[in-house]
Amino acid sequence: MTELLRVEHLTRHFKIGGALSQRTLHAVDDVSFGINEREIVALAGESGSGKSTIARMLARIYRPTSGEIYFEGKPLSRFRSRRDQLRYSGLAPMVFQDPFGSINPVFRVQHGMLRSLKLHRPELSAAQRLTEAARVFDVVGLNPDMLQRFPYELSGGQRQRVGFAQALAMRPKLILADEPVSMLDVSIRIGLLNLMAKLRDEEGVSVLYITHDIASARYVADRLIVMYAGQIAETGPIEDVLAHPRHPYTQLLLSAVPDPRAPLSVAAETDRGEPPKVIDPAPGCRFRWRCPLAIDTCAQVTPELAELRPAHDAACHVAQTSAEEVKAFS
């Protein structure tokens, strides 16, 4: 498998407070990962964990504070000409969370489709653009007649399919999907998750699927990245991470997933903590205040990702120590 996208030590800080304030919010801190061709990678975590900031840096909405993004081996910071930038935004388009806010309500659905086709694929004639729009509508499971409709005539699920059709029209290699199903009804979500899997299997598109819903991530994704407070807590093949979660935060996240098939009592221990706002952080694990396993080291040294199982990394001192003990013992 060839690597499509590589992110190295990606960091994004925001200045907060007044003009003279020296405080910075560390939204994303030293994050590295890759996305292969024909792969769906799920990026999971609570609100405020930095998932959307990563997506926005990948979409070039934010510029990284430091670190580099490589697309097909080339660093994004070198894409300076308008042609290169257009080409990249066509290869890695974004699908937004809110299907009600992401389509212009005063134009027919085809308006946005045809405009982006004109911009990104200028070689097409007007008639070809219409044919292409009809083709991608068909791929995402919409009737091409819908191109003539106004957004208010479409349901939430249909609008989100329009979002994927717009992305697909640009012949992308990677779709950045920021919580694409979280605003849809449960009964309609599955259809869109199936669509993402179909785009991977039939169109060869990779997807960065940003979500806080681990169950839906498991349904479509090949790999999982769990974010906590701007850093990667755990990453690996999704089945392995879910079956053998090593980071206590991943364990907390999994225990919070509602599952009617699992027995549960209301008295069960629940976490009341809140994810921290990472303002001018001192070294140490950012999860330690909520962590049931925290030891002294956690307050002094920031844990780094280490491979604990094949291709499965976690950034946790306790998990790493116990893994070493197991190794020494055997």
Partner 1 sequence: MQSRVPDTPVLEVSGLSVDYLLDRGSVRAVDDVSFTVSRGEFLGIVGESGCGKSTLLFAVAQLLAPPAVIAAGSVTFDGTNLVGLTDSQLSAIRWRDMSVVMQSAMNALNPVKTIGAQFKDALQAHGKPSKEEITVRSAEVLRMVGIDPVHLRSYPHQLSGGMRQRSMIAMAMLFTPDLVIMDEPTSALDVVAQRSLMVQIKELQQTFGFAVIFVTHDMSLISHFSDRLMVMYAGQVDELGATKMIFDRPMHPYTQGLLEAFPSIRGPRVPLRGIPGNPPDLSSVPAGCRFHPRCPHALDRCTQVAPSLFPVDGDLVRCLRRQDGSLS
Positions touching partner 1 (CB under 8 A) are 46-48, 155-158, 185-191, 193-194, 212-216, 218-219, 239, 242, 252-262, 264, 266, 268, 270-272, 274
Radius of gyration (C-alpha) of the chain in whole angstroms: 21
CB of 253 to partner 1, least distance (A): 6
CB of 178 to partner 1, least distance (A): 14
Alpha-carbon separation of residue 173 from 19, 87, 101, 238 (angstroms)? 41, 11, 25, 21
Please, which residue, 185 or 325, has the CB nearer to partner 1? 185
Beta pairing, strands 231-237 & 94-95: unpaired
CB of 200 to partner 1, least distance (A): 14
Angle, to 10 degrees, between the axis of helix 156-169 and the axis of helix 186-203?
Answer: 20
CB of 185 to partner 1, least distance (A): 5
Please, which residue, 267 or 328, has the CB nearer to partner 1? 267
Please, which residue, 85 or 270, has the CB nearer to partner 1? 270
Please, which residue, 174 or 253, has the CB nearer to partner 1? 253
Tokens matching residue 285: 């694990």
Please, which residue, 99 or 112, has the CB nearer to partner 1? 99
> Helix, strand or coil for residue 25?
strand
Please, which residue, 113 or 154, has the CB nearer to partner 1? 154
CB of 210 to partner 1, least distance (A): 12
CB of 229 to partner 1, least distance (A): 13
Question: What is the DSSP code string of 284-317?
Answer: S-TTTTT-TT--GGGGTS----EEEETTEEE--H
Instruction: Report the candidate in 41, 56, 14 with the shortest Cα–Cα distance to residue 237.
Output: 41
CB of 274 to partner 1, least distance (A): 6
Q: Report yes or no: 9 and 70 within 8 Å, Cβ to Cβ.
A: no
Tokens matching residue 230: 């701007």
CB of 97 to partner 1, least distance (A): 12
Dihedral sign (CA 184, 185, 186, 190): negative
Tokens matching residue 75: 């660093």
Please, which residue, 53 or 320, has the CB nearer to partner 1? 53
Please, which residue, 60 or 218, has the CB nearer to partner 1? 218
Residue type, 197: A
Rounded Cα distance, 328 and 330, in Å: 6
Instruction: Report the candidate in 217, 94, 114 with the shortest Cα–Cα distance to residue 160.
Output: 94
Please, which residue, 40 or 170, has the CB nearer to partner 1? 40
CB of 326 to partner 1, least distance (A): 25
Angle, to 10 degrees, between the axis of helix 156-169 and the axis of helix 109-120?
Answer: 20
Rounded Cα distance, 220 and 207, in Å: 10
